[in-house]
Structure 1
Amino acid sequence: MHELLKTLAAIGFLVRKELLALFKEPSSRAILIAPALIQALLFGYGATYDLTYAPYAVLDQSKGEAATELLAHIDGTGVFKRERVLSSSEQIASAIDDDGVLLVLSIPADFESRLAAGQAAPLQMILDGRNSSTAGAASAQISGIVNAFNQSRGSVAAVSVERRAWYNPNLESRWNLMPALIASLSMLQTLLLAALSVAREREQGTFDQLLVTPLTPMHILVGKAVPAILVGLTQSTIILLVIRFWFQIPMAGSLAVLYMGLLVFTGAAVGIGLSISAMSLNMQQAMLYTFLIIMPMMLLSGLLTAVNNMPVALQIGTYLNPLRFATDLVRRVYLEGAGLHEIAFDFVPMLLVAAVTLPLAAWLFRNRLS
């Protein structure tokens, strides 16, 4: 028991040393807190797929009352802005090719007469497909406006579509993106912080002093990992508070389950970072290796692109990415209110990554750096 207390005390001193080194300078404290806050705000405002502005052009060959009424419905949304009025179909290609408009509405000359006769009146919509997500959203909104226009004239279509969205009633992309940032944004600095930990000491020549102390490689590993995990959880908390109270996105699940998942994920991220740090000869190498794997981890996490839409080979590769399962866990707990038994599988890959990388880092401490 006495030896155990001595070991815990030694690890505690090492943790204290690491925390003091992190928070010694005001610039270091700002780097640990400010980026998480700023990035959460930037992603919340900038990384949104909601259609809020759609410039369009119109070619109205009908010049009738019905066409004018339909265009008034479109302009009245506040989303679609009529940038150009075309006089011939030859102008359509240039209007779209120069990125001036997202879509062109072409109203045929017999539009009014067809409606008066009770016949189907086609409305041609030419979309700029270079931005498929925005074009798809614009197309869906135009279809909805046309349906409302038909109903206002008493010509309701025989088939109607009713839609209901679970967990995000208004289909706001921010609700889908922001909770995932609780894991992904904190990972960026946690991974880099852990990767620089040993590399910094080796470059400064202080790691040799640690090796001659009574601490074992596993003790050193714990002393290096705990501060990085604490920083990662702190940053996740900052982002969580921004999402919940600044952007007013309600949380449906349990904080205990959420932080249990974040703890496991942060441990896996720290294990990867410490393994990188132990393999690096200097801080420049550690930073290079870190940035080399951060982007693939982000792209293969499902943060922006659904994993199911990826090629099969990439889907298999995502099982090595703890961020994929952390993203799924956080989204389901935050938005869906999923319980521990419902997201239990997400823990398995993260625990496996942590179980491999943390012992690997300890082994590298002993064999590569001694």
Structure 2
Amino acid sequence: MIDTLFRILALFRKELLAMLKDPKSRIVLVVPPILQCLIFGYAATYDLNHVPYALVDLDRSPSSHAFAARLDGSGVFVRVATLTRPDDAAPLIDDRRALLVVTIGRDFEKNLSAGFAAPLQVIADGRNSNTAGTAQGYLATIAQGFADDWRAARGLPGPPLKLTTRAWFNPSLETRWNMIPSLIGVITMMMTMMLTAMSVAREREAGTFDQLLVTPFRPTEIMIGKAVPSMLVGLSQSTTILLVAQLWFQIPFAGSYLMLYCGLALFLAAAVGIGLFVSSIAANMQQAMIMSFVLIMPFMLLSGLTAPIANMPAVLQYFTLINPLRYAISIAHQVYLEDAGPRQLAPELMALAAIAAVTMPISAWMFRNRLT
């Protein structure tokens, strides 16, 4: 038992030296997670801070001017043109100079004073449906606020219902609060799978794989010695992302670090099992890298990172049940934002344990057959 432990530690040290002895390799392990966090945090966002729009004011009343001033003063809507006819709006949308065209009807103030619905037309550029929908939602909120303030200033009765909303876990509804914790699982899986998949392929290309076979190492010891360093690198990268989320983006961590790392350990066990399977069938590093990317893309698309799983077709929802990244993202969100405990995370933890219990033995069997 002690001899086995020393052999695994020796192989563990060898793998870490192979990963970290080259300065370029050290940079690759540290810099990409930070860059991806910054890119996703600032670029991959559904939040709108700049909405160019054109205004068509057919009423030209004090109320219509007040509404236009409310839009211009919102800090989000930027007027790029003031038109006299609705027909002039088409070129602005065709050339992408305006995302919205807001048309204020002729009887805008008159209908407001009479307590009727005031005519307000919005034409949106639907080529990007997410952006257009978000912009229309912002505009609807401003219009409702203007109508409430206008009635209150004149002592008129307001609407029978007034909706007051409050968002839990993400009060400002910022996209990065959802995106950055997800990267803890996404980037960790990418690097862990690739490092594990290329570990054996690197030995084959360097010509040291045959030397490894004539050593006293057993196949199981070789597999453990190559899996554990990749898991440690994955945990270090997840820690880097966690620090960027808290120190740079100031996203408050509500949960338990112990709970988060327990979930990540199970997730990495499942990811390493898949990576070892790829390494057992790849003949060289190029094949290992291509196979890893081929697997990572479906994992990302079926994880709920970009689209809710509930919106997917029923067949694809069943496929997500065997995707470890789905459970990793769920654990990261629940622990980071909701302060979830073991009871709440039990389904995800059990699913990851089941995936690891299947992938690791299969990978060990494949690994053993390739070595013997």
Shorter-chain TM range is over 0.9
TM-score (norm 2): 0.95
Counting only pairs closer than 5 Å after superposition, residues 133-152 of structure 1 correspond to structure 2 as: 133-152=130-149
User: Which shows bigger deviation, 112-121 or 310-319?
Assistant: 112-121
Q: Does 1:70 align with 2:67?
A: yes
Counting only pairs closer than 5 Å after superposition, residues 1-370 of structure 1 correspond to structure 2 as: 4-154=1-151, 155=156, 156-370=158-372
From the superposition, tell whether residues 118 and 352 of structure 1 become closer, same or farther in structure 2 (CA, over 3 Å): closer
Give 1:118 deviation, angstroms: 4.0
Q: Quote the sequence identity (%).
A: 51
Give 1:251 deviation, angstroms: 0.9
Q: Is the 8 A contact 1:278 1:369 kept in 2?
A: no
Supply the RMSD in Å over aligned alpha carbons. Answer: 1.3
Distance in 1 (CA, whole Å) between partners of 2:116 and 2:364 is: 77
Q: Is the 8 A contact 2:53 2:78 kept in 1?
A: yes
Q: Is the 8 A contact 2:276 2:367 kept in 1?
A: no
Give 1:151 deviation, angstroms: 2.0
Q: Deviations over 1:76-123 (max 9, x none)?
A: 011000112222222223322222211111112222333344433111
User: Which shows bigger deviation, 351-360 or 213-222?
Assistant: 351-360
Distance in 2 (CA, whole Å) between partners of 1:311 and 1:44 is: 29
Q: Is the 8 A contact 1:217 1:363 kept in 2?
A: no
Distance in 1 (CA, whole Å) between partners of 2:113 and 2:365 is: 82
SS in 2 for 1:342: helix
Distance in 2 (CA, whole Å) between partners of 1:359 and 1:134 is: 46
Give 1:68 deviation, angstroms: 0.6
Distance in 2 (CA, whole Å) between partners of 1:216 and 1:89 is: 78
Give 1:345 deviation, angstroms: 0.8
SS in 2 for 1:49: coil
Q: Is the 8 A contact 1:325 1:350 kept in 2?
A: yes
Distance in 2 (CA, whole Å) between partners of 1:362 and 1:316 is: 26
TM-score (norm 1): 0.96
SS in 2 for 1:153: helix
Give 1:162 deviation, angstroms: 1.6
Q: Deviations over 1:56-86 (max 9, x none)?
A: 1111111111111000000001100011222
Give 1:369 deviation, angstroms: 4.0
Distance in 1 (CA, whole Å) between partners of 2:229 and 2:2 is: 20
Q: Which amino acid aligns with 1:110?
A: D
In structure 2, stretches of 5+ residues that fail to align are: none
Give 1:211 deviation, angstroms: 1.6
